[in-house]
Amino acid sequence: MLIRDVADGFEVFMLQRTHSAAFAGGMYVFPGGRVDATDGAEALEPYCDGLDDHEASAILQIPNGGLAYWVAAIRECFEEAGVLLAR
């Protein structure tokens, strides 16, 4: 979920599904999807500045694999909305 502070509160970024979609046509939704196997690739960790799998897993309160959820969220925002969360 993408949220930002503004002068009178906050804004939430949402998408509107096409009205012809078989599921939830015309509904407002958050960008998202699922964690793919490649989202947990060890080769991605050096590109995740400030967060490693150990810390991501601790935040999510899971034993391991937490960084894959962050990677999936970033990937889905880019795929679905063209928003790239990167430096």
pLDDT tens, per residue, the chain with 87 residues: 899 999 999 999 999 999 999 999 999 999 888 999 999 998 998 889 889 999 999 999 999 999 999 999 999 999 999 999 988
What's the confidence (pLDDT) of residue 32? 84
Crossing angle for the helix pair 66-81 and 53-60, nearest 10 degrees?
90
Question: Among 2, 69, 62, which residue's Cα sits nearest to residue 35?
Answer: 69
- For the chain, the structural domain boundaries read 1-30, 33-87
Give the global pTM.
0.82
Structure tokens at 75: 């990937």
